[in-house]
Structure 1
C-alpha cells in the first residue's frame, strides 16, 4: 500500500460493539471521532458476541441491528454495518477487517477502540497483524483497567489517542432502567426508545442488568 493510496482513499472508522442497545453516547462519540480522527464515515459494526464477554442478556442479532439502523437515520456519515452477523463465530476483528478490505478495496479502515480495550489489545486475535496493517485510534473510557490513564507517548507507531469527551452513558444503565420501569428518553434516540417499549426488550432482565458496564 503506497502513500498515495493512504491519502486518497476514503477513511472509514470501524466502531465495533454489541450495541445492546445503542445509546446517545455511542452516537456522540462517533460524531466526535469523525473530526478527531479525520474520518469520512464511521461504521457501527454490530457484533454477535464479544469473545471476552459472555452476555446472558444479549438481545438477538436482528433486534440490535434494527436499533442501530433506526438510531442512525438522519446521520449521513454514520452507517450501520452487519457484516459480522454473516460471519463464522466467535467474531474476531481481524477476520472482519480482512472481509471488509476484500469487499471494499477502495476504502481505508481505522479501528476505533476504547482505552479499556487497548489495555488488553495484546490478547486480541492476530493483534500484531492488526497493528501492522491498520491505523488504530484509542478513545478514553471511564471503565478502564487498573493501569489508569493511557500515556499517549507510549503508544506504538500507527496508534493515536483521540481527544474526545467522556460520555457517561452505558448500555447496562439503559437496560437497568428499562428493567426497573424508569424512563430512558434522555439516554437513547427516540426511535430506539420506541422500539424497546413496543417490543418489551430488556423488561425482564433486572437481575442480569446489574452486571458489567458496556
Structure 2
C-alpha cells in the first residue's frame, strides 16, 4: 500500500487542506492519505498554535467518513520539534510493508534544503508536489518527485485565525463540522 503523508500544523484545518488531501487520494497512485498533525513545525512560530489535541480533533472532524483519508498524531509521541525525516524513519520502521511518500506544496518544496537531513528524505521517499501560485518548481534537487496540478484555494490558516479573532465569519473556509466546533469552543478568539 502506498500512503501519502500530508504534514501540517492544521491550525485550523481548512477547505484548501481537504481539497489537496482528497485530490491526492483519488487522483494519483496513492492508496491513502494520512494527515499528520505536527505539534510544532520547527520553521514556524508556535505562539499562535491552538493546543495540539484540539487541532488533532478538528482534523479528525474534517476527515470523518472519508475512507481514503486518515489523521495521525504520530508526531505527538516523537521528540520535538518534529522533523519530517525522523517521522518518516519511524513510520518506515513501524510499518515495513507500507510505502510512504510526502505531499507538499511547491512553496514548501523550495525550502527543502533548509530541512533536517533533506538529502536522505529526497533520496529515499517520493515527493508529491502540488503547485502553489507564485512558487513554480524550478529545481527538483534530484528528488523522485511528481508534480500534481491539484485544484487550489487561496486560503491560509493565519487568515482564518485573524478573521475569527476580529469576530468575522470564516464559514465555508473550513469544513462545516469544523466551523461549528470552533464556534462552540471559542477557538482562536
TM-score normalized with structure 2 length: 0.94
Question: Which residue of 185, 188, 191 corresponds with 2:174?
Answer: 188
Preserved CA contact (<8 Å) 2:129 2:145: yes
Question: Which residue of 151, 155, 160 corresponds with 1:165?
Answer: 151
Residue of structure 2 equivalent to 1:79 = 70
Question: Which residue of 29, 46, 50 corresponds with 2:37?
Answer: 46
Question: Which residue of 137, 142, 160 corresponds with 1:150?
Answer: 137
Alignment of 1:78-117 (within 5 A): 78-117=69-108
Report the 3-state secondary structure (helix = DSSP H, G, I; strand = E; otherwise coil) of the residue aligned with 2:116. coil
Task: Write the deviation string for residues 84-128 of structure 1: whole angstroms up to 9, x where unpaired.
Answer: 011110100011001111111121111111111111101110111
Residue of structure 2 equivalent to 1:19 = 10
Moved over 3 A (4+): none
Give the distance between the partners of 2:85 and 2:173, measured in 1 at CA: 31
Preserved CA contact (<8 Å) 1:11 1:109: yes
Preserved CA contact (<8 Å) 2:123 2:143: no
Q: Larger radius of gyration, structure 1 or 2? A: 1
RMSD of aligned alpha carbons = 1.3
TM-score normalized with structure 1 length: 0.84
Q: CA deviation at 1:37?
A: 3.1
Unaligned runs of 5+ in 2: none
Preserved CA contact (<8 Å) 1:36 1:162: no
Aligned length: 188
Q: CA deviation at 1:157?
A: 4.5
Unaligned runs of 5+ in 1: 1-9, 204-214
Residue of structure 1 equivalent to 2:160 = 174
Preserved CA contact (<8 Å) 2:101 2:126: yes
